[in-house]
Amino acid sequence: MEKKMRTAQEIRDDIKELDQRIAELFEKRMRYTEELALAKKEEGAPVYDKNREDEKLADITRNRSNPFIVKGLEEVFIQIMSISRKYQYHMIRQRDRYIENYFTEVPELVMFPDTRVVYPGVPGSFSEMACEKFFGKETDHYGVTTFKEVAFALNNGDADYGVLPIENSSAGDVTGVYNILLDNDVCIVGEVFVKVEHCLLGLPGSRVEEIDLVISHPQGLMQSAPYLDTLDVELKSVENTAIAAERVARDGNPRHAAVASRRAAENYGLEILAENINFEASNETRFVILSKKRQYTSDAGKISISFSLLHESGTLYNILSHFLYNDLNLSHIESVPLPDRQWEYRFYIDVTGNLHDTEVRNALQGVRAEVADFKILGNY
């Protein structure tokens, strides 16, 4: 006699019963996790032991022939062990020596009458505008040619604070700035946003239709690309938008123009040939304030971190879930391939919170234990 096929509802009932048993077993496992966390704390053992977890995965999947089941078990237990680690960090709540040793909490940023601020570019640049917006026009500030020179000035003690553009709302991250933050012993201590309104600037009497060369910073050219594409011109990159304006004024060629600010036009005696040429009217650039002092203010609300990961299934999710389990919000994430390390990536992440918050310290302890090249870029 042919066996009667069960109905979908009968099968669902059995799965429901099994799921309840799995949930009860998971809860029991987490009770063991509590004990394990306290035992590790007593023994001084680390929460994360990759070799041990790899052995567990190998043991669980051993002698199972169905590749789908093997893959599924790996995925399930990777997540179970990840959740277990997060629970252990929560239970142990150890002091974070990394933060305590490298960062100092202060009521506010220290400013003296002789405080000096360095920015990339020349007077009239958006970087100078950011500098004056954050520190005030009366603070002693000066420009240098390149982004790297800002870090050099801080390292050499020539300046107390530096200003660098890091992100634009329409063109994305500013190339090279994250590398400067990694390669130099500097810390983000603040940020400021400057509205970007690009203009096409030329010598007095110049005409747009006669322009054959337009120069600017790569971001200025990128942010104005739709307009520039309507012109039959050569594009040339220079270090800064205001430097471009200065060069057009100095060269005296009526067929050359610069993409720069209205303020740069005033500073260098240029004429605005076209205004508001950036393709997004709400275009803003975010600038970070840098210091040699690793400090953060008591009311700081954003933390920037960096780390690298192998390009393996689930690795990024497991790291980001540390913030999820501690109710922290991510506001920015960027990935960059690592040079000479195939399929490995460095991530830059902004998360809300302050380094004195317990939830922040729990999350960062977990992340730091499970990644390579971890660095807190600043809390501001």
Composition of the chain by helix, strand, coil, percent to 5: 40, 25, 30
Would residue 287 show up in a list of annotated catalytic residues for this protein?
A: yes
Phi, psi of 245 (to 5 degrees): -65, -45
Q: What is 187-256 written as a DSSP string?
A: EEEEEEEEE---EEEE-TT--GGG--EEEE-HHHHHHTHHHHTTS--EEEE-S-HHHHHHHHHHH--TTE
Give the E-state strand segments of 229-360 in sequence order: 234-237, 256-260, 271-274, 284-291, 295-297, 302-310, 330-337, 344-352
- Burial of 262 (C-beta count, 10 Å sphere; 0-12/13-18/19+): middle
Would residue 285 show up in a list of annotated catalytic residues for this protein?
A: yes
Provide the terminal-to-terminal Cα distance of the chain, rounded to the nearest Å: 75
The closest alpha carbon to 353, from 371, 330, 335, belongs to: 330
On whether the CB atoms of residues 319 and 372 are closer than 8 A, the answer is: no
- Token pair of 15, please? 């799965």
Beta-bridge partners for 344: 310
On whether the CB atoms of residues 189 and 109 are closer than 8 A, the answer is: yes
Give the E-state strand segments of 133-175 in sequence order: 140-144, 161-168, 172-173
Amino acid identity, position 12: R
| Active-site option among 134, 135, 287, 323 | 287
Rounded to a whole number of angstroms, the CA Rg of the chain reads 27
| Active-site option among 285, 307, 323, 347 | 285
C-alpha–C-alpha distance, residues 222 and 224, integer Å: 5
Beta-bridge partners for 272: 201
Residues annotated catalytic, as ranges: 285, 287
